Structure formats: structure tokens, C-alpha cells
Structure 1
């Protein structure tokens, strides 16, 4: 970019006005030389590093490599922190703070003199929040994911972070694992820097970044502590300068074709149900009307060929050695399931980036005709219990429960569930359907990952390890089971889920995408009379803002006023 007027940062640093003097002078107190302000692109490094977000605690080191790359390409890097939503440490849920972090990112980009931005993310919600904020600003952007931890190993067994603990908790409750072994497993469960090494939400969203074209080659799977993760960071620093010079903004990458690629990739990798919420929210930030039907339609016919926990056997470290996401995308392209001309931040079409990728281990990345699951993707169920839809991950569910009819055991809140689930007098058996209410976006608030309810002890004692569970909550991407989630509208918004009663019959047919409460319309209307939502008290002004303005799950749980931001972003932040 030869015309300095085209650089947004020149509005701060160009010329000899009082404002320019002050902007430059204060930056120079950090020891920055005069030529830092000579018209070279200013690159923001938006970092979610935090010691309270263990997945992202190594991002300070990676940010230094990004800076090297920016300098090499002739740019001027400046790092700034934003809210880091920690899935493992935050209560009640990091999802409550995803939108707050997105607002933080958006306002920082708008307020600071940056021409392009490198988004440093890792933990589940940090990736979508950074992309949502940057998308609203529409400047050049590259995402650098922190990468997954090394494989977990406990007593010689390969274990996945998040996934194994669900089994251990159940085995501890059933008396099949000692407390000493349970506590000893912690050391081998999370043994290096990085995010969960299963195909949980963190790895899924890193994969979505790469599939969307926002991340460089192999962004998703290089282990956090592998030297190649640092190399990727340095290359990202170089490339963001090139994107600024070419004026390749984030909206030129985030096209409908890019989102369709990502949805099919999610099916092929057995990705997290949380990706549904996040991609819909991101798409709406750039004015693309992505909906649940797109997820169901595009995922059908796509086999899950990646054999990773929680659906399969292996972990992200194995996935990288087997060829990583490029190998999966090549397979999709060879079966006409990839928009090959979609642009990437490498400045080239996606097919040019992945067409030479190879599969090095066909146990981890299976042959197309020998999939882990013949039809992956996300199943979107509808019916009188979920008029606006609910989702299920078939690759993590039990096939014998794909068609099922059972009586509802209803919990009015997660606290009610904890109080009653192991009550010996609870009328429940393996044919029952567990129903959890008031854990959606408004009801919790924040839509916590409590949808994968543990089974009752009396059922576990029979050796049963799965039952159908239905809720308006979310589920960790590391979890598994026949769990129907994101029921919309939620109970706290007066959705039919609020009016399910103990003993009601519910019919589930995953193949037919049917979720039906066997109660007449007239009876549901009678139960809805005088409805008052069950809303726990909010503890802060932000929680009040969230509850008042969050949209339902089928719209991505973004704020309703984000639409105004999308319209304003058309005017470009340079104005």
C-alpha cells in the first residue's frame, strides 16, 4: 500500500498536528524509534493471554513470534489485551462472557490506530468472541490458535482432557474407581500448555477458523508446545501485513461459501455442537443469514472420517501427525463437498492450500468409505417441543437410542437436578428421558454446559451408560452421549420445554429429525396460562444486560442490538 492516506493508522500518527504529536510522543515512551510511524502498517495483536485461562497461558510467547513476523514484513506490531473468557475457571459459564469479550474486541479495534489485527485465541469462547468483534469492524485479520495440549496419558491409557473425566466421575460414583486413582489422574490429564486435545469446542473452533480461511495451514492441530506452532505464529505476523497491503478484509474471507465449507468440515471431524451457536453468531456479524437448517442440510451425507475423542479413539496430537485438517479438507474437495475457490488469509483459494495434503495414518483420518460414522454433522430436531429447533451430535450418540419413546423425568433447574438425581425414590429407569429446564441463554443466564446430565446412580448400577437427555442448555464439546441441546425457545422464554411435566411421553426420532411431546396443543396452552419465567437473580449490571438482550440459541445467542453494529460497520471504521 503506497498511499499512506489509505492506512487507517495515519489518522492518528500522520502529520504534525497536536493530536499526531501526542499520539506519537506517548508511544515513544516505550522506546519506539521514529520510523515506527513512517507510514508502515500498524498491526494490532489482540491477545487473550491470561493465567486464569490455562488454555491461553502460553499466548504471550506466541505473540512475540507474531511480532517478529510483523517486523520482518515491514509492519509495526502493537499488542493489547482483551477479556479472556475461561471455560475451565469461569462460573457460571464462559458463554455468559462471550458477547462481552466480543464487545471488548470490537471497541478496542475501533478505538485503536490499527490497520490489521492478529487474533490470539485458544479456549472455547475466546475464538468466537475475537472473530465476532473483528468481523463487526471488517479490517484485515488472521487468527492464531494456541493449539491443543499433548495427549493425556494415565496408567498407560490415552485419555482426552474433558472427555475422560465424565467417565471417571461415573466410575467413581459407581464404586469402580478409587478416590486415590481419581485424584492421581489429574496429573496425566492436562500435561502441557494448550487447550483440550479432544475434538472439543476449543479444537473444533480452531478447526473452524482454518476451514473458514481465517487461519494459516495447519492452524487447528499443531500441538501448543510443538516448535511449528511458533513458526505458524511468525508466518501469521508476516501475512497480516500482506493482507493490509492488499486490502483483504475479514468480510472477503467470511463468505457464505466459507461458512458452508466450515459446516461440512465440522461434520467430517465430528466437531462440537457449540460450533453451531458460534458460527451463526459470526455469520450474522458479517450480514450472512446462516441458520439451523443450513447445518442440517449441509451436514447430511458427510461422513465423520476423523476418529477422535469424544466420538472416537484418538486425540489432536495424533490428528496433526496423521495430516491434520488440510487432509480432511482435501478429502471433502475430492468428493465435491468443498467450495474450492473460497479465499483464505494466505491470499490463495482454499483448494490451492489443501490439494497436496496427505493422510499419513488411516486409523486417525479414515478412508472415505470406512468412516467412523456414515453421517456426521449436526442433527437439527424440530417438533412441538422445539418449534425453533434443537441440536444433537449423532457421532457422539448411541445408535440404539436414535428412535425412542420414553417418560419424562423433569428437573426444573440444574440445582433441582443435583438435589434429586440420586434420590433412591426417583421414578426413573433406563427407558426414561431426562428433561432439564431453565438452563438456556436467559434462564441460567449464559446457557451453561450442563445439558449432558450424569445418569442416576440406580441406572448406572445396572451397567447403563447412556440415556436420552433433553435441555435448553449446552454440552461441553468434550462430552458424549445421546444429548439433545439448545432447545429453542428456551423454558425461561416461555418455550414448550417449560411446560413438560413428570411422566409426559416424549418421542425422539433422530433420522426423521423429530422431537415430539405427546401432549395436545390445548393442554400445552392450558399449562402456559399465567406463565411466569423461572429466573435466578442476576449479580451484575452486565448479567442484566445479557438477560435483557441475548437472542435465542437458533440465532447464535448474540445480542439483539448487534444488528445495529452490523449495519454501522458497512460504513467502515476508517470513517
Structure 2
């Protein structure tokens, strides 16, 4: 806590509206807390700190967050606060169907309304799996009370045949080998049991670590917090420190609106590129910035990618894992390498600036955290494409793609849905070769719905058996941040709303030119007009519940896939206390 920061009076805290007045309603509030066995002294005159916990029995990334909540509670009590644990929807990437992405905004709404509807002065956000970090941050930004994010941390490394094994990235590699016959079933079953050896998020630079690192770079976590392995003893210590710091942040009135400035968002973008982060971040960062009232575009991020090379030697752009990154100094060390491109005067949850937080940081392993003079890849972590196939943009991750396809023309092979693709992709008579452009449509925010991670289309079995391991693939879906390959994603507008992807036919020639930033189908305007006249919008079977609300209000990928009525930073009135 900065020594010059004045302490707010107790009377200004939100919780005092519920607990302080000498009236019947506040009597009932105090009475009900004591009904749970609490003493009056435990909650009166103290900041009430929520522990928003996304623990779940079906979320292996968050399996340890029950215990971490206890560590956070210790820190809150030590600093003089009153801890209350509140459960929130757990977005475990693997189990939730059709995709956690459809529920990111649900979690954002839940966090916002939990914080608004209850006597909460500040919060510690416990999460880490892909959509959890942006969802929780979006809700907290919209509520705008003091919050600190406590990342779940990556899982431990594994080894196979003498090589490091990363969750997700190697799953795809081993699957291709299994389909091609290079791995037998007993070995496949052994891999299933050992590849993911502890709780925690994916240990590659997938979406989980991309987003927690971005949160740190933007100032929303303690320094170094995003890199600590979930099972390291430093992790519960960090969690306890989050609890203690949340209490101080309440007294300082250190809210997201003071931290998440335009410069802080730009710092997150710089970190994203230096990490070689997941393409999913291109959506989440736009949404996070939007909640703070900041207009962030794909083109702005792509420009940063041309000036900030990939410095983190982590799968899928490199060959190391998050545990190695932690030992090499973690995110503070990486940020120190790109310090000239950062706004170092940005305020963070520590009460200090980003520059102060990383002043003593440096890489201890030049093979894991590279210098600007020796990057992992100069190709960049993000490029934006436009053309008659994606007038509002599409993205590709050059650092994890095959340069042989950066200028490519090939025949389209179109799949109208993921089910269609799965049914046909391994047929022996499929008319496909290495130059074919695989296209999946109706995988976008509305079409799927929810924009699942279908964009890393599998290589057809007949080509895997011939040794092919990459092809140009195009879709309006997303791709797991742990995956790799020459995949064009987030084609916007999506096919389900009549975007040009809906008009592509098998056999059309598709042309990608990465240097020119273009993606086009070689079809005349007259022919496209004829096809458009014949196109019919798909009819969704979702007639009720949250999914219907989502379909009716979700924005397109280039706008962050937020719900249109949640955009911006207009304040919502505090609830009346009656």
C-alpha cells in the first residue's frame, strides 16, 4: 500500500448501507449473519471482502481453488477484513458444452450482480481457465469496486520419450499420430492417464495463461502471480497476499476504473504479443476494453504484433512450458524485456506503478524468455486479414503456422457444420489433398451457437497417413490457444448472419496472402449476388433460456462477442436498501 494514500472512512464503504444503520432492516441483516454463528465483532466495522470462487468438481483447472479460498480468507482476516465466499459458474474448458465461450458473458453478469446485490466492499476473483479470467474481469469492471484477480496457475509439466509434454498442444499432435497409426492404443491410453498430472490450467501458452498474463500486465494481479504453478507452495502464499491486498484496496478505493486506462489495455496487448498468446485473446481484450469504455480494434492489436516479436519460448509457438517460464522469471521478466514499449506509469492493484513492479525483474534463462535481439519468432502472434471472404476481419497466428501457406491458393472443401466435418473428414474417398483449403462454417457466435473451438480442423486421415501435418483451414469458429497450424479464424461476419463464408462452395478457389493481409474467394460479384439471393438463414432450435438471450444480443467476433446491452461503462444505480 502506498504510504501517501489516504484511508477512506468506514462510513463510505458499501457494506455500511446494509449493516450500520440503527433501523429494523439493518437489525435483520446483522441478525441473520449471527444466525450463521458469527459474532457481531467479526463483521461490524470491517470491510466485507468477497471471494468469488469458480471451483467445481468438473473443472480440473480449478480443482484446487477450494483450498486457495481458505488461503485468501487467511489474508483477509490478517488484514482486518471480513471474508465471505461466493460461488460462481465454473467455466472448465474441457467439460462445458457446447463451449465455455457461450457462458463467458453469463459469468460476467453473475460476478457483476453478485457484487452489486450483496454488501460487498471489495473482492478477490479466483479463476484461471480460459473464459473465466475475461468473464470475471468484465463483470468486475462493470461493477467497479476494488477487486484483485488471483490466477489459478498452470499445471505441472510431464515428459514423454524424453520430451516435455504440454496439455492441448501435444494432445493434437499425439492424436494425429494415433490416427496415422504411429501410436498404438496402449500407448494412447498411457498418455491419457499421465499427460495432465496436477490441477491447474494448461501448461502451454494457451488461452488460460494468455489471459491471466494479460490481466497481470494490465495491473489486475500481483506481480508474477500469473506464472506460479498451481501446485507450487508459493501459490497459496500468493492467494493469501491477494486477500490481504484486497482489504487495503478497499481503504484506498482502488477500483478497476483507476487501473484499466487506455495505456493499461495497451500494456496488455504488448504482453499478448510478446507471449505469442492465444488468438482467443483478440476477442477477450476487445470485450474487456469495451467494458471499460475503451475502443480497442483488431487492427490496433495487429499493428502492435508487427513491432513486438514473440519472446516467450512456449508451446505452441516455442518448445517450453509454463513451469519453465516461471523458473525463468515469469511475466515480470518478460515485461522487463519489452519495457520500452510499455506505459510504465500505469497504476496496478499493488498501489504502485507497473514500472515499480518490474524494476528488479530480469530473465534467468535466455532460452525461455528471449531478448528482442533473439526472438522466438519475428512473425508475430496475430495478423488480421480482410477481403471478400471476411470484410470485417479474420485472424491468424503466424508464429504457430506454417510459412509455406502464407501465400496460398487452393480449392475449397466446405463443411456446413462441425457434425458434417466429423462425419466426412476421415472418409477414404474424400476429394482432398494438401493444397485443399478446408472450410468450416456455422461455427460462429450465433451459428454454433457460442463460437466453439472448432477452428483447428483435423487433417483428413488419408493425408495424415501420407505424412501431412498442416493445411490451410478457414472458419468462423475459434481455435484452442494450445493448438497450432495454419488456421484462419473468427471470419466476420459469420456465416449464420449471412456473412460471405455462407456463400462459399466446394471447388471455389481460395486465396490467402498474409503479407497483403488478404483472404478472398475467387468468385465474381455477380455469382456471389446470385448465391446470396438463394441463401436462407438457419433456424435455431434454442427458444428459451440464456442461450436464446445470447443469440439475440451477442455481438460479432470483431466487437468482442459481448452482449450488446452490457457494452460501455455507464454506471448502474446501487440497489435500494428497504
Matching residue of 1:568 = 571
State the alpha-carbon separation in 2 of the partners of residues 572 and 135 from structure 1.
Answer: 15
Change in CA separation of 1:574 and 1:312 when aligned onto 2, cut-off 3 Å: farther
State the alpha-carbon separation in 2 of the partners of residues 379 and 259 from structure 1.
Answer: 19
Verify the 8 A CA contact 1:444 1:535 in the aligned structure 2. Answer: no
State the alpha-carbon separation in 2 of the partners of residues 514 and 84 from structure 1.
Answer: 38
Matching residue of 1:436 = 440
State the alpha-carbon separation in 2 of the partners of residues 70 and 451 from structure 1.
Answer: 43
Matching residue of 1:382 = 386
Give the alignment partner of residue 241 of structure 2, picking from 225, 235, 241. 235
1:150-299 to structure 2, matched below 5 A, reads 150-299=156-305
Whether 2:346 is the aligned partner of 1:351: answer no
Give the alignment partner of residue 494 of structure 1, picking from 491, 495, 498. 498
Q: Secondary structure at the match of 1:386?
A: coil
Change in CA separation of 1:87 and 1:249 when aligned onto 2, cut-off 3 Å: same
* Structure 2 unaligned residues grouped into runs of 5+: 1-6
Q: What is the Cα deviation at residue 179 of structure 1?
A: 0.8
How many residues are aligned here? Answer: 571
Verify the 8 A CA contact 1:264 1:377 in the aligned structure 2. Answer: no
Matching residue of 2:63 = 57
State the alpha-carbon separation in 1 of the partners of residues 279 and 70 from structure 2.
Answer: 33
Whether 2:548 is the aligned partner of 1:544: answer yes
Query: CA offsets, 1:482-513, max 9 Å, x none?
Result: 10000000000100000011111111111221
State the alpha-carbon separation in 2 of the partners of residues 269 and 92 from structure 1.
Answer: 28
Matching residue of 2:525 = 521
State the alpha-carbon separation in 1 of the partners of residues 354 and 436 from structure 2.
Answer: 46
Matching residue of 2:4 = none
Query: CA offsets, 1:281-333, max 9 Å, x none?
Result: 11111111111111111221211011111111110000000111001101111
State the alpha-carbon separation in 2 of the partners of residues 350 and 539 from structure 1.
Answer: 47
Q: What is the Cα deviation at residue 552 of structure 1?
A: 0.4
1:386-535 to structure 2, matched below 5 A, reads 386-535=390-539
State the alpha-carbon separation in 1 of the partners of residues 315 and 236 from structure 2.
Answer: 26
State the alpha-carbon separation in 1 of the partners of residues 274 and 10 from structure 2.
Answer: 44
Q: What is the Cα deviation at residue 36 of structure 1?
A: 2.6
Verify the 8 A CA contact 1:42 1:78 in the aligned structure 2. Answer: yes
Q: What is the Cα deviation at residue 88 of structure 1?
A: 0.9
Give the alignment partner of residue 135 of structure 2, picking from 111, 123, 129. 129
Q: What is the Cα deviation at residue 367 of structure 1?
A: 2.3
State the alpha-carbon separation in 2 of the partners of residues 221 and 2 from structure 1.
Answer: 33
Matching residue of 1:40 = 46
Q: TM-score, with normalisation over the residues of structure 2?
A: 0.96
Q: Secondary structure at the match of 1:279?
A: helix
Matching residue of 1:339 = 343
Matching residue of 2:144 = 138
Q: Secondary structure at the match of 1:487?
A: coil
Task: Identify the range of structure 1 (386-395 vs 291-300) with the bigger mean alpha-carbon deviation.
Answer: 291-300
State the alpha-carbon separation in 1 of the partners of residues 140 and 516 from structure 2.
Answer: 38
Matching residue of 1:68 = 74
Query: CA offsets, 1:389-414, max 9 Å, x none?
Result: 00111111011111111111111111
State the alpha-carbon separation in 2 of the partners of residues 49 and 535 from structure 1.
Answer: 35
State the alpha-carbon separation in 1 of the partners of residues 526 and 574 from structure 2.
Answer: 51
Query: CA offsets, 1:239-266, max 9 Å, x none?
Result: 1111111111111111111111111111
Q: What is the Cα deviation at residue 67 of structure 1?
A: 1.1
Matching residue of 1:118 = 124
State the alpha-carbon separation in 2 of the partners of residues 165 and 37 from structure 1.
Answer: 48
Verify the 8 A CA contact 1:407 1:505 in the aligned structure 2. Answer: yes
Query: CA offsets, 1:146-169, max 9 Å, x none?
Result: 100000223433100111110111
* Structure 1 unaligned residues grouped into runs of 5+: none
RMSD: 1.4
Q: TM-score, with normalisation over the residues of structure 1?
A: 0.97
Verify the 8 A CA contact 1:8 1:574 in the aligned structure 2. Answer: no
Verify the 8 A CA contact 1:405 1:508 in the aligned structure 2. Answer: yes
Give the alignment partner of residue 316 of structure 2, picking from 305, 310, 334. 310
Q: Secondary structure at the match of 2:393?
A: strand
State the alpha-carbon separation in 2 of the partners of residues 33 and 285 from structure 1.
Answer: 38
Matching residue of 2:364 = 360
